[in-house]
A and B are shown apart, each in its own frame.
Chain A
Amino acid sequence: MTAAIRATPSACPACAAAPAAEALAARALPDARIALSLPTIHCAACISKIETALNAHPQVRSARVNLTLKRASIDAAPGVTAEEMRALVEGLGYEAHELDAGTLNATATDRAGRDLLMRLAVAGFAAMNVMLLSVSVWSGAEAATRDMFHWISAAITLPAIAFAGVPFYRNAWAALRQGRLNMDVPITLAIILAVLTSLWETSLSGEHAYFDAAIALTFFLLAGRYLDHRTRAIARSAAEELTALEVPRATRLRDGAEEVVGLADLAVGDLILVRPGGRMPVDGVIVTGTTELDRSLLTGETLPVFAGAGQAVSAGEVNLTGPLTIRASAVGAETSLHRMADLVAIAESGRSRYTSLADRAARLYAPGVHILSGLSFVGWYLYTWDLRTALNVAAAVLIITCPCALGLAVPAVTTAASGRLFRRGMLIKHETALERLAQVDTVVFDKTGTLTTGTPRLTNLDALPRDAVELALALSGASSHPLAQAITRAARDAGYLAAKLTDITEVPGYGTKGVFEGQEVRLGRASWVGARARAETATFLRVGEAAPVAFTFTDALRPGAEEAVAALVAQGKRVILMSGDTTPAVAALAARLGIAQWLAEALPADKAARVAALTEAGAHVLMVGDGLNDTAALAAAHVSISPASALDAARVASDIVLLGNDLAPIAAACETARAATRRITENFRIATLYNIVAVPLAVAGLCSPLIAALAMSASSITVSLNALRLR
């Protein structure tokens, strides 16, 4: 993004594009690396059309489209801006959004995934070869032939296991050093013990060697780890993309000239220009300009508030009507937006420590396995006074009980479930989010921006006189205020035509006025047209000295909101509405959606406290919210969902992000989560069942490598197939 941040050498953009200036810039600046998000591409023709067009641009060095990520990465000469590239692709008829290249650091996660895949491949290769050699041993190879096969197996297994098992050794060591036990401790112990006893047996030309079991174990467990990693990598990259879509930039005024700079470059005291429709980049004080501010993301209020010179504004508020110049009073981490993060940190520390099903299983399992194996070693040693037999039996017990199927039980199910939910437009960000979602019994919704879209809809069009609507349409067409746009949309759809007005001017912060047949016509705030303010959102039209006519609005429902609430209630969950908006607005929405419990005019801390109180009372709360005022509540809830349109801070605090506009998947997701958790417990039972059958054999010393291999492979495959049944 260096190209975009670069200060224009002179005030006129055409001069900047001149070859001389370009040549100067080229020496000083690194190449521009631009990333674009292309959500609508879907076929081979799209790829080649976009690539051809981009590569045809004289300053683009190379451009490549990635269809899986729906992204284009462009390597261009310095001075090429992302905006230019975006316009080029939009010109071809595809939707394109700029991505902040700094936020996209796919390489780090990529390297970890590639590392795991490499180890998985090595383990797979070694396991196949060793298994083939083992088959001939099982089918009756004897004496020298058997010894040779064992030695070849050892030669393949030892380096392969040393390389492939590193993630387990590392985790086990980290856990042991802190005096804890995790799943990786019995795994590492089983692998090491199996390899050592097998080597010893082989050197004595014994009959049983467990090289095949040890390497197959590593392979299956790595497969589980890789699945787990992939699921999380996909979620992380999608979440990163959402963040990268918001390119943090601001227009700074310096000596009367405008320049576009990154947020990080702003300092306290800078003058910043915020155009209508733009979001405040920093906290500040208005220097010039009057406007109305949409503060819904911060407070949940839908009603725009008036703002003029001298008034303080907070980062995150949206400027609606007039251009503003603000003087920054706090930037970066000092802004109110970031101070909210402290609230989140406090809420998070109070969040109940959830232990995942896998951890709970490991806590029961790991000590049991070690005790069992140790006991059979001691028992057999006391019985036979033969170290070799005792060690062999102990190794067999460890291998049989090794949590191979347990290692696959959770990742296989979460991969299947997350993939399913991702296709429906839900992004599972946290690894235990699904398990927690399954326990939910209370759902708390935010109003503005979550159940409603935050865009107003005109409600009393039918009750208004025709000429009033036509006059209002003429005035509203000239404004970009959301209420004006709602009037324009509703009136146009109903077939009204705009009246002929002259001298239409927008008065930022107040409304729009014009002249109709010699009379002044005003459309705007109650105080400006001389009307009494009403409880609901409204704008007023006054012709001359006549009484003002009110246009009332409600917030449009988000698609799927009704279905989601109805389905959640049908599932027997308690649904609560909590909003920072005024009481009448919240009450009306609650009645419309059939929500019995609601809370209006809630401060951010109130919301978090309410959620904490519900949790205290034993409820498992799902919080659905999008605004800054919800962030603390999102972090305090048992599990949380935020829509993609939410503020970055809210998305970071929540476990699940809703990618589409539709709320309906929430109820279905609860069902899927329940099914997934059921599958996980089922998988644990299957794995335990295999153990119950095979462990007595192992303890009795009857377990051959063949039985170990069969039990392990069969349980792993059953568990994976069971996970795939998730529909």
Chain B
Amino acid sequence: MNVLAYLIPISLILGGLGLAFFIYTVRSNQYDDPEGDARRILSDDWDDHPKP
């Protein structure tokens, strides 16, 4: 059962990372325009160089 000593912290850290990333996406307004973002990926405007 010693493996629990590693597995529980690892799972918590991974889950916590997921949570932190989710909170980051909410804070940076990434859910403001879900429909637009889904379409924007189809546009080839900034394929050659990133948007300045």
Contacts and interface: CB of A to CB of B under 8 A. Distances in A.
A267 interface: no
Given A67-B33, A69-B33, A125-B16, A45 B23 contact: no
A129 B33 contact: no
A44 B40 contact: yes
B32 A68 contact: yes
A48 B15 contact: no
A47 B40 contact: yes
A118 B33 contact: no
A722 B34 CA distance: 27
A69 B42 CA distance: 19
A114 B22 CA distance: 12
Nearest to B8: A152
A45 to B, nearest CB: 7
A65 B40 CA distance: 10
A117 B22 CA distance: 10
Contacts of B48: none
Contacts of B8: 152
B26 A121 contact: yes
Contacts of A129: 11-12, 15
A68 B40 CA distance: 12
A68 B35 contact: yes
A43 B35 CA distance: 9
Chain A, interface SS category: helix
Contacts of A52: 45
A128 B42 CA distance: 35
A476 B18 CA distance: 69
A65 B39 CA distance: 12
A129 B31 CA distance: 25
A548 to B, nearest CB: 58
A118 B40 contact: no
B32 A128 contact: no
B19 A68 contact: no
B1 A67 contact: no
Chain A: number of interface residues, binned into ranges: 20 to 34
Contact of A68 (B1, B12, B36): B36
Contacts of A132: 11
Contacts of B33: 66-69
B25 to A, nearest CB: 10
A145 interface: yes
A23 B42 CA distance: 40
Given A67-B36, A68-B32, A145-B1, A125 B45 contact: no
A118 B26 contact: yes
Given A118-B26, A125-B18, A129-B15, A43 B39 contact: yes
Nearest to A52: B45
B43 A47 contact: yes
A122 B39 contact: no
B36 A117 contact: no
Contacts of A121: 19, 22-23, 26
B19 A125 contact: yes
Contacts of A125: 15-16, 18-19
B19 A48 contact: no
A128 B15 contact: yes
Interface string A42-62: 011101100010000000000
B11 to A, nearest CB: 7
A455 to B, nearest CB: 34
Interface string A98-142: 000000000000000010011001100100110010000000000
Interface string B4-17: 10001001100110
Contact of B23 (A44, A67, A118): A118
A69 B22 CA distance: 23
B42 A44 contact: yes
Contacts of B31: 117
A472 B8 CA distance: 88
Contact of A47 (B1, B11, B39): B39
Contacts of B42: 44
Interface string A64-97: 0111110000000000000000000000000000
A44 B15 CA distance: 34
Contacts of A48: 40, 43, 45
B19 A122 contact: yes
Contacts of B16: 125
Given A125-B15, A125-B16, A128-B15, A47 B36 contact: yes
Contacts of B40: 44, 47-48
Contacts of A128: 15
B22 to A, nearest CB: 5
Q: Residue among A43, A47, A132, A152 with the most chain B CB within 10 A? A: A47
A44 B12 contact: no
Contacts of B12: 129, 156
A66 to B, nearest CB: 4
A460 B34 CA distance: 53
Contact of B39 (A44, A69, A114, A156): A44
B50 to A, nearest CB: 15
A418 to B, nearest CB: 18
A125 to B, nearest CB: 4
Contacts of B36: 47, 65-68
Contacts of A67: 33, 35-36, 39
Interface in A368-392: none
Contacts of B41: 44
A132 B16 CA distance: 15
The 8 closest A-B pairs by CB, nearest first: A67-B36, A44-B39, A44-B42, A68-B35, A125-B19, A66-B33, A48-B43, A44-B43
28 contacts: A43-B39, A44-B39, A44-B41, A44-B43, A47-B39, A47-B40, A47-B43, A48-B40, A48-B43, A48-B45, A65-B36, A66-B33, A67-B35, A67-B39, A68-B32, A68-B33, A68-B34, A69-B33, A114-B27, A117-B26, A118-B23, A118-B26, A122-B19, A125-B15, A125-B16, A125-B18, A129-B15, A156-B12
Given A47-B43, A121-B23, A132-B11, 11 more contacts: A44-B39, A48-B45, A67-B36, A69-B33, A114-B26, A121-B26, A125-B18, A129-B11, A129-B15, A145-B1, A145-B4
